[in-house]
Amino acid sequence: MDKEQQQNYLQNHQQGSNQMNQQQQAAQGQMTGGMWLLTKEDWVLIRPDKSKKQSIEDVKQANSVAKFIKMFAEEFEYYFSDMLKLGTQTNIKAQVFYHRIKALKRNQQLDDNLYAITCLFLAAKLDDTLFKSEMCVEFYIALQQYLKVDATFKPHAFKALVSISKLDERAKSLRKQTLKQIIEQIPKHKIQQEKGKLLFAENDILVSFGYDFVVDTALPYVDQFVKSYKEFINKQKELQEQRKQKEEAKQEGEMKQEIQQDDKTDTIEKLLNTVQFWGNDVYRSNLCLYYTPIQLTLTVLKKAQQTERVVFPDYNGQPWWKFFNEKYNANIQSEDDFKEPLMYFNNIIAMLKS
C-alpha cells in the first residue's frame, strides 16, 4: 500500500468512525437520574407500538430474548449454586443492557443469543458476582446440547426447557448431573472459540455504551411502595380489629360491614403481589429506553389495578400516586402523567398475545 492509498484508507476509516460515533450519540440520547433514555427524535424510529417502524415480530423477539436471559440466569445460578448468586436486579440489568445494545445496533444483524448471555455476564460483573467467562460459555454450549439445538437456535427454543423452579429436587439433580457430564466432554478449543466471541461482544457493548453502565430500574421503587402499603394495610387491619372488639355488642349488620372491610384489605394484598409480577415483566420490552424508573413504576402499579380490577385506597388521605411525590419528589400531577407509558405497555402485551 503506497502513501496515497494509506492516506485514503485512514481518511475513510476516520470518516466511518465519526459517522458511527454520531449515530451512537444520537441513539444514546440523554442520561436522566441514572436512566439511559432515547431522545424524542429517536422515538420515531423504534417506538413500542403498532407503527410501521416496529413490527409485532420485533416486539416478540425482544420478549423472547428477555425470557431467555431470565431462564438462562435461573439455570446457571442453580448449576453453580455453591459459587454464585444472581439476584433479580442483575437479571433486570441484563435485560436493560440488551434493549440498549439492540437499539444502538438496530440496523445491524446481532447474534441475539450471544449478546443476551454477554449482557448477563456484564450485569453480574457489575454487581460484583463471581462470574467467569469460561463458566458462561461452558454452560451455554451444554444447554445447546441438552436441548439438541445448534448455535443458531432462537431464544424461544428455551420454551422446550421446563423451568428449573418447576422441577422437584430429583429432577433438578438429574438435570444438573446431565449438564455436568456434557460440560466435561466439551472440547477445550470449542470453549476458547466461544469465549472469544463472548469477549468480542463484551467489548462491543462497552464501546457502544461509552462505558456508561449506570442503571436505575423500577424494582426498588416498586418494592418500597409494596412495603409501605403493606405496613399501611396492617395498621388498617389493627384499627379494624380494635373497632370490632369495642363494638361486639352492636348489631349483626354492623359486624358484617367490618368483615367486608377485612376482605377488602386482603384484596389489596393480592393486588400488591400482582404489582411485583408486572414489575418484572415490564423489562421484557424496550420501554426502559423511553421512560424513567418512576414512570415505569407508576405504569406497573396502574396495570396491576387494571388486572385485579381494584383501586388502591388513598394513602394517608391522598391519592396513591402521591406517595412518590412525598418519597421521591416525583412531581406527579395526576394519573395522566403516566397514561402514555401504560398505553404502550398495554399495546405490547396485546401484540405478544396476537
Domain boundary among 165, 186, 208: 208
CA distance readout (Å), 28 to 91, 190, 328: 22, 35, 25
CA distance readout (Å), 156 to 20, 59, 103, 216, 238: 31, 13, 20, 28, 48
What are φ and ψ of residue 168, in 5° steps? -80, 175
Are 163 and 243 contained in the same domain?
no
pLDDT digits (tens, 9 = 90+) for 90-120: 888 899 899 888 888 877 888 888 999 999 9
- Residue 204's pLDDT is what? 92
pLDDT digits (tens, 9 = 90+) for 317-347: 888 888 888 888 888 888 888 888 898 888 8
Integer-rounded Cα Rg, in Å, for the chain is: 25
- Residue 152's pLDDT is what? 65
Query: Is 352 in a helix, a strand, or coil?
Result: helix
Are 89 and 202 contained in the same domain?
yes
Q: What is the CATH number of the domain that holds 244?
A: 1.10.472
Q: At what angle do helices 88-104 and 3-28 cross, to 10 degrees?
A: 130
Q: Which helix (H) or strand (E) holds 101?
A: helix 88-104
CA distance readout (Å), 38 to 32, 100, 116, 215, 219: 10, 9, 21, 14, 20
> Does residue 213 form part of some domain?
no
Query: How much of the chain exceeds pLDDT 70, in percent?
Result: 74
Q: Which three cell numbers stand for residue 171?
A: 429432577
Query: How much of the chain exceeds pLDDT 90, in percent?
Result: 12
> Does residue 149 form part of some domain?
yes
> Does residue 23 form part of some domain?
no
Q: Is the pLDDT of residue 25 over 60?
A: no
Are 296 and 320 contained in the same domain?
yes
- Residue 82's pLDDT is what? 72
Are 82 and 110 contained in the same domain?
yes
Domain of residue 179, residue span: 34-208
pLDDT digits (tens, 9 = 90+) for 205-224: 988 887 777 777 888 888 88
Domain boundary among 185, 208, 231: 208
Are 235 and 173 contained in the same domain?
no
DSSP state letter for 338: G
Average of per-residue pLDDT values in the chain: 75
- Residue 44's pLDDT is what? 39
How far apart (Å, rounded) are the C-alpha atoms in residues 350 and 354?
6
Q: Which helix (H) or strand (E) holds 50?
A: none
How far apart (Å, rounded) are the C-alpha atoms in residues 155 and 64?
6
Domain boundary among 188, 208, 228: 208
Q: What is the CATH number of the domain that holds 78?
A: 1.10.472.10
Q: Say how many domains are in the chain.
A: 2
Name the residue with higher pLDDT: 339 or 240.
Answer: 339
- Which of 8-12, 18-22, 86-90, 180-184: highest mean pLDDT? 180-184
Are 44 and 134 contained in the same domain?
yes
Are 56 and 183 contained in the same domain?
yes
> Does residue 167 form part of some domain?
yes
Nearest Cα neighbor of 296 from 348, 230, 250, 228 is 348
Q: Summarize the confidence of residues 240-244 as an average pLDDT.
A: 73
Are 81 and 167 contained in the same domain?
yes
> Does residue 13 form part of some domain?
no
pLDDT digits (tens, 9 = 90+) for 254-306: 444 443 444 455 566 677 778 877 888 888 888 888 888 888 999 999 998 88
Are 204 and 223 contained in the same domain?
no
- Do 71 and 95 touch, CB atoms closer than 8 A? no
Q: Which three cell numbers stand for residue 273?
A: 403481589
> Does residue 73 form part of some domain?
yes
